[in-house]
Structure 1
Amino acid sequence: MITQLDALGPAGPFRTRDRADVTDVYGQTVAELSLVPSLYVKRTMKALGRARPLPLDLRLPALERAGEMFADGTVAGMTAAEYRDTVCRLSGTPLANVSSAVDAIRTAAAEAYTSAQAGRPNGAALDWRDAPVRGGSGGWVRRGEVFAVHAAGNHPGVHALWLEAVALGFRVAVRPSRREPLTPFRLVSALREAGFGDDGVALLPTDHATAGQILLSADLSMVYGGQEVIDKYADDPTVLPNGPGRSKILITADTDWREHIDVIVDSVARHGGTACVNATAVFVEGDPAPLAAALAERLATIPSLPPHHEKAVLPVHPLAGARAIERHLLDRARGARAHLGGDGVVDDLGDGSAVLRPAVFELDDPAAPQTGVELPFPCVWVAPWTRQAGARALTGSLVLTALTSDEDLLDELYADPDIRNLYIGDRPTHWMAPGVPHDDYLSSFLMRSKALARG
């Protein structure tokens, strides 16, 4: 049976004539996604702007209920088990990773407000009625009322972040990815059933031509995409772009990488290598070849399994899509020494789908362009690093795990604004926790401070 994924607007579910097939990794149509026109987008965004936020004392329990419903309940007629199974089929994300993402979204819903408060300036009050306001203080207020999200489809866990906007009182409109629209459909449906109402949160699937209207109609927006997305919105203060992570590991000569091989492998392979926080480059002070060989040996043991298998780790794609990714990899890898994946990374499962197996390539220059190549599976570039290359070889990193005892170097890395997160020692690049910023605090983008005083 084909699932109907309706748009979710201010008058409830809306099924359009214009619908897009949503296919799984085996090429079968699993769902039909309603695509809304520009006029519907405009009306929905206006309705969200007119709506008032759910009061805080109702908002936070409703968020927690929504997280529980999303994780364990029957939402829009679909059980939690059916949801996990379908997302696994659609995205090729291993079932274990889907389950961990579901748990992360449940936790994010329960702790969204607390996490958002971590970004509040110490001197800012939450309400003009608060006692410090009488003597004069800062106040922390929304920069707008409607927040839009152009969502990614690479991993269900990306939908945990925008729940902070809901917690802060924004009305939120989500444009889902056509690759995996089920997670935002289920989450928006759960939020509505939990008490946020049809004008509190919306799902607006659109074609590419209409997608921009959502951003134009919102006060603030968050978009996901490649480098072209980063470049397009870099100068727009109302749009927060999320692009490639290009996360890295640095190992200096005073550190024996053999003592840290587990955390290096985990940084590369966790989440099937699909997340922006997976390590895509490892820099070694000294000869990188032994580490590259050890990484290849460890990653080669990961089995090729269909996504529903309980021991599946690697991502699965339709065979044609996997071949296209493989061609791109081999083209970008020209001139690099292959330790794993040099003959290809596609493992045909014989049912129309294919596993993308790990790849390890060694480079001879820390400035080689391949160190910035990020692909949606465990693919890592191992390069030499020198003191002369310094921090500039590591900039542009969402996460840098530094395996070093050099405190002067750590000072330099910490001060570099283009290294957005710094983990020191045995901390995998994919580590995240509620209240810890991902790429700065989202609330620092959503909120601003103003002066408050009462006579």
Structure 2
Amino acid sequence: MSAIPHLPALRKGRPYESLDKVQVKDHKTGEVCAEVSQVNAGIVRKDLGKISEARKALKKFTVAQLIEITAKAGESFLNGTLPLGDKGHTQSPEEYIATLSRTSGLPHIMVKRNMAKIHYAMTHMSVILNGLSRGLDMSVIDRGFGEQSGCPVAYFPTTHSLGLVMPSNSPAVNSLWLPSIALKIPVVIKPGREEPWTPFRLIQAFIAAGAPPEAFGFYPTDHEGSGEVVKLCGRNLVFGDVNIAKMYENNPRVQVHGPGWSKIIIGADKIENWREYLDVIVGSISDNGGRSCINASAVIVPKYGKEIADAIAQRLGPVEPLPADDENARLSGFANPKMADYIDAAIDNDLKIPGAEDATAKYRNGPRKVEFQGGIYLRPTIIRCDSWEHPLASREFLCPYASVVEVPQNEVLSKIGYSLIVTAITQDEAFINDLLECGDIDRLNIGPISTMKISWDQPHEGNMFEFLYKRRSIDCA
């Protein structure tokens, strides 16, 4: 058995070793953690031409059976020792945590929290599907038609496969595709370069739990191959930056998970009590190392902006890198140091524009970008902006970053643009009604609720059930 694991491509669940391989390395030492077979666009095209076979394999099960399999797989994912590649290696939960940390930069404690989120989703799939389908009896999906609240209903799949172009920044994003298996839609996964571990481990857990191997495609590939996944799958989840979001913004076959621009808004009726909400604000900005689209990247207040920015900076400014296995670690390293260079330079360049101040600088006692034990880190950055028009007011970065901006309450919703999540700390009924009417907010929290809190049985950047199934009219004689 080779000392270095080899992760093959999985073509309808069957391992495929390619002559073309890439190495996944420790982000600090450069040590090779695994070799991963790469496939070209031609293989993707060939396999997706026969994807209906994978769909047939899942249709042999009822939704209820697949929910049970998903729950069993969740336990294996969290606690089991599972195959790692095709050369006889296995991976315990502890090995998964350590390896993922080494290649992605996430400290162990954050990997554990992401594992717990995935486990919860897998073991509560019936609750999730009930919420997303608004209480539909899942036997309707098995039969194709039935009744709901006394009315005839029929649903048909919008696709024979769900394509996934995954990122490397946060393992928990894999929870978004999990309902697909229970809904009998095969997945075609293009993993993130530094994070093949989570989707591969999930696939192995599903297969061990009794899911048909044919339902899983695992295709490490290049840009052209990723394009073929999106082109040939009837539905897709794509993760990326603003440019990726613009590329697919008018494509109904693609759900883009890009920047969230999530925000905390304190209403005029609650601003005098702003100190009471510091824990919620700080956690929303910094939990999960600030890497998530649901991290708050702006705090919008009617007054006291300077004082609030300073208070947040006092809490986050001193935060520094710690060893990956330290339970108190709050920062993630960068697997790609060039990304850290870019972010650091972008913030500094925009600070040259009058009207913004780095409130964390005086509490940081050093530069924003630091090296620690061979890894590159960005320390938290809180920017106080004089107006929403300043470029740094509406930026989002892959680290604990947020602006603090004073905006009159009656102007907030007309200025802030799209927000994946808004936490509005207010009891002003008129303002709450305006928030409820606002079409630019994807998820709304009313009260001091962290932007990081997710309700799995409610839509997140789209409803997965409605993405994969469409209702049709039906009548039977």
TM-score after normalising by structure 1: 0.94
Whether 1:89 aligns to 2:106 is no
The one-character-per-residue Cα deviations of 1:267-319 (angstroms, maximum 9, x if unpaired) are 11111111000001001101300000000001124342022222111111255
Counterpart residue number, 1:226: 241
Counterpart residue number, 1:253: 268
Alpha-carbon distance in structure 2 between the residues aligned to 1:341 and 1:446: 47
Alpha-carbon distance in structure 1 between the residues aligned to 2:72 and 2:135: 29
Note the C-alpha offset of 1:44.
Answer: 2.3
Stretch moving more, 88-97 or 21-30: 21-30
Q: How does 1:363-442 map to 2 (within 5 A)?
A: 363-442=385-464
Whether 1:62 aligns to 2:69 is yes
Whether 1:80 aligns to 2:97 is no
CA RMSD in angstroms comes to 2.1
Counterpart residue number, 2:368: 345
The one-character-per-residue Cα deviations of 1:367-406 (angstroms, maximum 9, x if unpaired) are 3332321111111111111134231223311001111222
Counterpart residue number, 1:446: 468
Counterpart residue number, 1:244: 259
Alpha-carbon distance in structure 2 between the residues aligned to 1:436 and 1:136: 23
> Would the aligned equivalents of 2:156 and 2:472 in 1 still touch at CA under 8 Å?
yes
Counterpart residue number, 2:10: 8
Alpha-carbon distance in structure 2 between the residues aligned to 1:160 and 1:300: 32
Structure 1 pair 133–429 and aligned structure 2 pair: CA distance change class (3 A): closer
Structure 1 pair 122–316 and aligned structure 2 pair: CA distance change class (3 A): closer
**Sequence identity (%):** 28
Q: How does 1:10-159 map to 2 (within 5 A)?
A: 10=12, 12-26=14-28, 27-51=30-54, 52=56, 53=58, 54-56=60-62, 57-76=64-83, 77-121=90-134, 125-126=140-141, 128=143, 132=147, 137-159=152-174
Q: 2:349 aligns with which of 325, 328, 331?
A: 331
Whether 1:172 aligns to 2:187 is yes
Q: Which amino acid aligns with 2:71?
A: E
Unaligned runs of 5+ in 2: 84-89
Unaligned runs of 5+ in 1: none
Residue 118 of structure 2: SS of its match in structure 1?
helix
> Would the aligned equivalents of 1:123 and 1:138 in 2 still touch at CA under 8 Å?
no
Alpha-carbon distance in structure 2 between the residues aligned to 1:411 and 1:134: 30
TM-score after normalising by structure 2: 0.90
> Would the aligned equivalents of 1:120 and 1:140 in 2 still touch at CA under 8 Å?
no
Note the C-alpha offset of 1:62.
Answer: 1.5
Note the C-alpha offset of 1:199.
Answer: 1.2
Stretch moving more, 29-38 or 282-291: 29-38
Structure 1 pair 431–163 and aligned structure 2 pair: CA distance change class (3 A): same
Residue 195 of structure 1: SS of its match in structure 2?
coil
> Would the aligned equivalents of 2:167 and 2:192 in 1 still touch at CA under 8 Å?
yes
Note the C-alpha offset of 1:96.
Answer: 0.9
The one-character-per-residue Cα deviations of 1:106-128 (angstroms, maximum 9, x if unpaired) are 12112234313322256885455
Structure 1 pair 395–3 and aligned structure 2 pair: CA distance change class (3 A): same
Q: 1:183 aligns with which of 177, 198, 201?
A: 198
> Would the aligned equivalents of 1:87 and 1:180 in 2 still touch at CA under 8 Å?
yes
Aligned residue pairs: how many?
Answer: 454
Stretch moving more, 21-30 or 42-51: 42-51
Stretch moving more, 237-246 or 379-388: 379-388
